Every structure is written in structure tokens, then in C-alpha cells.
Amino acid sequence: GAGVSQSPRYKVAKRGQDVALRCDPISGHVSLFWYQQALGQGPEFLTYFQNEAQLDKSGLPSDRFFAERPEGSVSTLKIQRTQQEDSAVYLCASSPLAGQGNTEAFFGQGTRLTVV
Amino acid sequence: SQQGEEDPQALSIQEGENATMNCSYKTSINNLQWYRQNSGRGLVHLILIRSNEREKHSGRLRVTLDTSKKSSSLLITASRAADTASYFCATDEYGGSQGNLIFGKGTKLSVKP
């Protein structure tokens, strides 16, 4: 596709439910990042993939959060036993090079997760 | 944790006026980027300035970088209603492990027609 695509755009989950958020990066992009954006705040880093390898997961807030990119393209962010504090917009970004600092990163429109 | 702090948090101006937003950061960096986010949308890259550059232009945008003060500014000239959005600076930490971006909290710009 032309850009980074995320699905679903909106997700309402009951507390304790598991959710899976999908990211389709731009074809051929090496790097894929997940960010969490709380209301009125800037995005905060969650995890980083270079191709299929998860090189950094230091931003994942708890072991309830898990991300994968098994074939080096599509990525899934899974949150188990959702809590109200997980409510946020989850943004996916991809870039053609390793890392994100040296080049423009392309962001998807995000998935807005609301835990009730 | 967030690296940058944008100033002001919110800015309201009339169409045609210039808008200036400032960003301060904490650590040494390789590059600094500015992004725009329209309500309910993803972030759009505006401009990247390297640590050895002091000023960069792109259309109506002018970015400055002062590494000695660990600060940057974004100037939007002749603003338009379509410029209404939140603006974020983002840095990659020099010597950082993987080059992910560290964002500030953003400046919410409102341009009134």
C-alpha cells in the first residue's frame, strides 16, 4: 500500500480482555516501531523491529504487552488482560533504514484503544 | 520518559501571522525532527535537522538548532487555517541503542481564519 496501515482504527475492550493490534508497514521498510500516545501527550516508544528481529522492547510497560513481526513485514501488538491505564492511541511507524533517527519515519493513523 | 519539552503548550494566532514553537531536550543528539499531528491522525514528518546544522528551511518552515542550549525552534510563516495541528519535536539520542525517536509533549497550534 501507499502508507502505513493500522487496524482496527478503534477498539473498545472490556477490562481483562485480550486485544491484538495490527500494523502493515510500507513494503520493503526495514524498521518498524510501536509507540503509545496518551491523551494530550507525545508518543512514547514501546518496541522496535529490524526486519523480523525485535531489537528493543525496553518501552513495553509490562509483561502483558507483546509484539511480533514474524516475517519481517506485518507486525502485531498484543495486550493481554487489558487494564484501564492501557487506554491510549497506539501508533506504528516504519522507515526504510535501520533505526529512525537519520531518516523520515512514516506513521500510521493509529489504533485508539479504550478499555472500559 | 519524554526527552523534549515544547513551548508554548498551546498557541492561537490569526491566519497570515507567523507561529514560533520551541523545543528543549536533555541529552546529546544526532538529529532532531519536527512532526505535525492533525486531530485523530498519525504524525507527518516535516523536517529533519542534523546536529551539525544550525538552520534549515522547507517551504514556509524554518527550523533552528542550538546544540549548546539543547534547543530548537520551528517557525511557520504566513500561517493558514490548515496549519492547525499539534507539533512535536523528536530526537534520537546520541549513542542511543536503536535510534528510536523520543518525542516532546507537543505544541497545540490553532490558526483562526
Does A101 reach chain B within 8 Å, measured CB to CB?
yes
Q: Considering only CA atoms, which of A6, A100, A103, A89 is closest in space to residue A50?
A: A100
pLDDT of residue A103: 76
CA distance A3 to chain B (A): 11
Query: Which residues of B lie closer than 8 Å to A, measured between beta carbons?
Result: 1-2, 4, 30-31, 33, 35, 40-45, 48, 88, 90-92, 96-106
B33-50 pLDDT, tens digit per residue, is 999 999 877 899 999 999
Please state the separation of Cα A45 from the chain's center in Å: 9
pLDDT of residue A78: 98
Arithmetic mean of pLDDT, A81-89: 97
Looking at every residue in chain A, the average pLDDT score rounds to 93
pLDDT of residue B97: 55
CA distance A44 to chain B (A): 7
pLDDT of residue B46: 96
Residues of A in contact with B88 (CB under 8 A): 42-43
User: Taking 90 as the threshold, does the pLDDT of residue A97 lie above it?
Assistant: no
pLDDT band of residue B109 (cuts 50, 70, 90) is very high
User: Taking 70 as the threshold, does the pLDDT of residue B94 lie above it?
Assistant: no
User: Taking 90 as the threshold, does the pLDDT of residue B98 lie above it?
Assistant: no
Give the 3-state secondary structure of residue A89: strand
DSSP code string of A10-51: EEEE-TT--EEEEEE--TT--EEEEEEE-TTS--EEEEEEET
Residues of A in contact with B90 (CB under 8 A): 42
pLDDT band of residue A98 (cuts 50, 70, 90) is confident
Residues of B in contact with A98 (CB under 8 A): 99
Q: Do B99 and A91 touch (CB under 8 A)?
A: no
Q: How many helices (H) and strands (E) does chain A have?
A: 0, 11
B97 or A24: which leads in pLDDT: A24
Q: Are B6 and B105 in contact (CB under 8 A)?
A: yes
Q: Grid coordinates standing for A53? A: 528481529
